[in-house]
Structure 1
Amino acid sequence: MTVTEPAPPTAPVPPLAERARSVGGSPVRDILAVTARPEVINFAGGLPAPELFDREGIAAAFRDVLAETPARALQYSTTEGEPALRAALASRITAQGLPTAADDLLITTGSQQALSLLATALLEPGDTVLVEDPCYLAALQVFGLAGARVVAVPGDEDGVDPEALARAVRRERPKLLYLVPTFQNPTGRTMPARRREAIAAVAARQGVWIVEDDPYGELRYDGERVPWIASFPGAGDRSVLLGSFSKVMAPGLRLGWLRAPAVLRRACAVAKQAADLHTPTLNQLAAARYLGVLDAHVERVRAAYGARRDAMLTGLPGALPTGSRWSRPEGGMFLWARLPEAYDTVDLLPRVVEQNVAYVPGAPFYAGEPDRSTLRLCFVTQTPEEIAEGLRRLGRGLSG
């Protein structure tokens, strides 16, 4: 007879870090997982239209790089980024009104990584970060994981109010102010030049970093380009500018960049060394090659996205309840709507999804008290015909 020995007792494994336990996942990602069925017209994502990717142009850039410099393309690279890409990008930023040298830039694995590097370099647990209300959701996640205290600054349809900002800086003594001034996610609003100049003056006078995130700036359909905050007096030595190729080239390349004063940029480079050593060399070299034809591609994308924005604006009056209000963005990817106060867009979402259409409720975008009657709609991923049908379904879901 064989006697089986009892298994020795085991101790529990150590718990997750407090920051991992206290910060939840992205509600947007959760919604996308639920609505991944092909029959769903999904206004919830922030995804560029895949049929507009320049597959041939990007493939040609990769082929050329691999044919001409295979050893370099497949090798480790410098943490700061490939010199060819940094030089080409610096010239592009300079041409857009902000004098920039290649050494002013750090190439990142998407601009989301740039935010994480800044949090590592700047924030201690308990530090205060000021944000817009509502605010880009993934930024709230980054600051939460860093253990920061996030405080929303009041504003209006033009963005953060400079006087409210000045009061908040005096009261809260923050490390940084995080903004998406151009075609903001989630509202689609754009901060006027005069407002940007006033915010730069507050930062200069009271001592705070400004982090200006600009992933959508090249997607303008109406109006004139507004200068970056870093170009205004007093902001140059305390402004960080983040950019991305995800919305104008392809998000799968995971290419972003950070422009910052030397001391902060070097700290971010050290943080990046610990995170991933460097952004993939092959992707960087292919992007540097593709930059020569990027403007022509962006023009095609702008034309298509502008028509899709117009299709959504045309269909909204028949889709949303009487008394609703919504933004008319000059560019970007998102439109923000506020339903009458009695509507709760979190509670309504399951009923809307039953109609095979989806949006993102506005509540998760708020650092403070949420407005539960709000919602975000992405208008770039579907064709005008799909948008019209999706809005008909949305109307049925909201009225059912």
Structure 2
Amino acid sequence: MFKDFKLIAGRPVYIQVKDYMKHLIIKGALQGDQKLPSTREMGVLLQVSRNSVIAAYEGLEDDGFVYVVKGRGNYVAPSAPGTVKGSPRIMDWKAHLNGHAMLAEELDIMKYGIRAEKGTISFTSIAPDEGLFDLDNVKRAFMDRMAVEGNVLLNYGYAKGYKPLIDYLHQYMEHKGVDMKGKDILITNGFTEGFNIVLSALNRKSGHVLTENPTHHTAIKNLKLHGFGIKGIPMERDGIHLGELEKALDEGEYDCAYFVPSYHNPTGIVMSPEKRQSLMKLMAGYDIPLIEDGFNEELRYSGSHVSPLIATAGAGNSVIYLGSFSKVLFPGLRVGWVLADQELIYYLESIKRAQTIHTSTLDQSILYQYLYNGNLEKYLKKARAEYKRKYELTLECCKQHVHYQALTGDGGLHLFVAFAEGFNTRELLEACRAQGVIFTAGEMFYTDGGGQHTMRLGFSRVADEDIRKGIEVIGKTAHKLMG
């Protein structure tokens, strides 16, 4: 016994000894009321200092694993945590799961998607390139904020969010042209939580929602989990097809609409300013809340900034804007926001408090300080330059190697490719996978079961040489499948 103990560098020795002894007690290698070796003897056995063993034994006593008999030594507690076990009861958990859990598992593409083997060229991700992360300024932001109010940041926060960040975002959205009068902000754990909070708050009269088709898969998944039926409206080169949207509005009833006007996921299309105006004019004739996903809004590579729909709405309060820096800055900081009418935020705050109490104040404060220090503009300049270069390289490689019917993507971190109707990108994916290249088949983004002839190519985390090689493989393989 005690011969399998191995020290791990960088972790306090006494904690390693304590955890090792706990493991032996829980597994039954050390029995209740069994006397432990003296601290000196244990130090020799484990080849650690006696002081480390003394501290470990004290910790074991505090945790209820050991008791001390004065003058005699340390003994294993007969009822140490984890050692007293009743007769095993095996439950069939699947029989106890509801339809919500079963549907969530069914829609969980991360569980059943293609895994990238080592060395695979993967175009599946649209996450930012961590090689661009501004670590020095993030560290500085952390230290700056901790020096000012570290004790406060490690305690409970407010459901609505960290006030300095809310104030910053208020001005940030105002600079996007949003009329902030009568509006307010709720901080969330990224886009997905904000979307779920909004969906859980909305009335269900018809049980149906309008979206673009195709659209963000995470939105499709969560709409289905909330029990909504989805009516997808086809896209044109400058955004949603307004004629088809008007037809759907006239023929059906909807509880809300969800649109991604900028660097649309998955098509990459940016809705034109003219179409934004026409869309808001059309929607004004219907009593339907509009949820705007501000996805990738900052990653423009050419032209001037296009105002979000909530800015186009002016003093109106019908738009709910969901914002996040996840694709622009750091996804590891789970911070997003909902911008909407004050009265709606008043109720959403209560839902947020009931569900998760509050978003990590530490995360919010680091993001705030990073933004306050003026780092966003500098980082965006660097990120846009790098992503623009990769965007242009990916676009050129597609034009050179892929016999597509349509290709869209006006910026952001991905391109969307459509082959001729009847072509199957699932078959293409399997054939490319065998050659060490994978991408995202487009059907998962469609609301009506279509899109089998499409695919999304995420280039943000792919090296230049892999972009060239991977797209050449995709192009040659597609050409071969076409016969």
TM-score by length of 2: 0.76
> What is the Cα deviation at residue 168 of structure 1?
1.3
- Which structure has the bigger radius of gyration? 2
Paired with 2:156 and 2:413, the residues of 1 have a C-alpha distance of 35
Paired with 2:181 and 2:92, the residues of 1 have a C-alpha distance of 53
> In structure 1, which of residues 285, 295, 309 is the aligned counterpart of residue 391 of structure 2?
309
Answering whether residue 149 of structure 2 is matched by residue 69 of structure 1, we say yes
Please list, as runs of the form range in 1=range in 2, the aligned pairs for 1:155-234 lying within 5 A after superposition: 155-233=235-313
Report the count of equivalent residues: 390
Structure 1 unaligned residues grouped into runs of 5+? 1-6
> C-alpha deviations, 1:6-41, integer Å up to 9, x for none?
x99988555322233234234366436x11x33111
Please list, as runs of the form range in 1=range in 2, the aligned pairs for 1:9-48 lying within 5 A after superposition: 14-23=95-104, 24-27=106-109, 30-31=112-113, 34-35=115-116, 37-48=117-128
- Which is worse superposed, 243-252 or 95-104? 95-104
Correspondence for 1:254: 334
> In structure 1, which of residues 355, 358, 362 is the aligned counterpart of residue 435 of structure 2?
355
Amino acid at match of 2:311: S
Paired with 1:318 and 1:26, the residues of 2 have a C-alpha distance of 35
> C-alpha deviations, 1:32-87, integer Å up to 9, x for none?
6x11x331111111211010111111111112212221111111111111000011
Please list, as runs of the form range in 1=range in 2, the aligned pairs for 1:256-295 lying within 5 A after superposition: 256-291=336-371, 292-295=374-377
- Which is worse superposed, 304-313 or 62-71? 62-71
Secondary structure, counterpart of 1:226 in structure 2: coil
Please list, as runs of the form range in 1=range in 2, the aligned pairs for 1:236-247 lying within 5 A after superposition: 236-247=316-327
Paired with 1:246 and 1:299, the residues of 2 have a C-alpha distance of 16
Secondary structure, counterpart of 2:96 in structure 1: coil
- Which is worse superposed, 69-78 or 260-269? 260-269
Structure 2 unaligned residues grouped into runs of 5+? 1-86
> What is the Cα deviation at residue 167 of structure 1?
2.2
Secondary structure, counterpart of 2:284 in structure 1: helix
Correspondence for 2:379: 297
Answering whether residue 426 of structure 2 is matched by residue 343 of structure 1, we say no
Answering whether residue 181 of structure 2 is matched by residue 104 of structure 1, we say no
Paired with 1:306 and 1:131, the residues of 2 have a C-alpha distance of 28
> What is the Cα deviation at residue 213 of structure 1?
0.2
> C-alpha deviations, 1:233-283, integer Å up to 9, x for none?
477211011111112220000111110112222222122112211110011
- Which is worse superposed, 156-165 or 44-53? 156-165
Contact 1:124 1:146 (C-alpha < 8 Å) held by counterparts: no
Answering whether residue 407 of structure 2 is matched by residue 326 of structure 1, we say yes
> What is the Cα deviation at residue 155 of structure 1?
3.2
Correspondence for 1:145: 225
- Which is worse superposed, 113-122 or 23-32? 23-32
Contact 1:28 1:360 (C-alpha < 8 Å) held by counterparts: no
Distance 1:221 1:268, change over 3 A: same
Secondary structure, counterpart of 2:213 in structure 1: coil
> C-alpha deviations, 1:79-101, integer Å up to 9, x for none?
11100001111111111211337
Distance 1:56 1:105, change over 3 A: same
Distance 1:395 1:74, change over 3 A: same
> C-alpha deviations, 1:147-196, integer Å up to 9, x for none?
01111123312222223222212322101110110000000001111111
Paired with 1:365 and 1:212, the residues of 2 have a C-alpha distance of 17
Secondary structure, counterpart of 1:391 in structure 2: helix
Paired with 1:278 and 1:363, the residues of 2 have a C-alpha distance of 35
Q: Relative contact order (C-alpha < 8 Å, sep 6+): which is higher?
A: 1
Paired with 1:235 and 1:64, the residues of 2 have a C-alpha distance of 37
Contact 1:41 1:386 (C-alpha < 8 Å) held by counterparts: yes
Answering whether residue 177 of structure 2 is matched by residue 117 of structure 1, we say no
Distance 1:233 1:93, change over 3 A: closer
Correspondence for 1:371: 451
Correspondence for 1:384: 464
